[in-house]
């Protein structure tokens, strides 16, 4: 059976000059999620990610906590979008 995990980026640096970056808490959240996956022996065959900095930082944090993650396939269509346009 195939499992698909959807992960939103960690907490961004809200209110800072550069919002497209994880806050210290956001980096820790990503690491914790990687540790969660590792504790449950979850292995990823493929990773898809947007191309924003906070997306990259989140995948790196997960990889650090998991101690392994395939290189992500970067898809810019996974970046921010107007959710009201698709509702």
Domain ranges of the chain: 24-76
Q: What is the pLDDT of residues 50-71, one digit of tens each?
A: 999 999 999 999 999 999 999 9
Query: Mind listing the pLDDT tens digit for each residue in 16-37?
Result: 777 789 999 999 999 999 999 9
The whole-model pTM stands at 0.85
Name the nearest CA neighbour of 29 among 57, 67, 1, 70.
57
Q: Which ranges of 11-82 does DSSP label H, i.e. alpha helix?
A: 24-39, 53-66
Residue 69's pLDDT is what?
Answer: 92
- What does the buried/exposed string (b/e) look like for 58-83 if buried means 16 or more CB atoms within 10 Å of the residue's CB? bbbbbbebbeebeebebeeeeeeeee
């Amino acid at each position: 059976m195939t499992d698909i995990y959807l992960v939103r980026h960690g907490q961004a640096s809200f209110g800072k000059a550069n919002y497209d970056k994880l806050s210290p808490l956001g980096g820790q959240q990503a690491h914790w999620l990687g540790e969660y996956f590792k504790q449950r022996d979850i292995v990823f065959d493929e990773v898809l990610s947007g191309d924003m900095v906070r997306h990259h930082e989140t995948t790196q944090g997960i990889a650090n906590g998991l101690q392994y993650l395939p290189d992500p396939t970067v898809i810019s269509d996974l970046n921010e979008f107007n959710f009201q346009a698709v509702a």
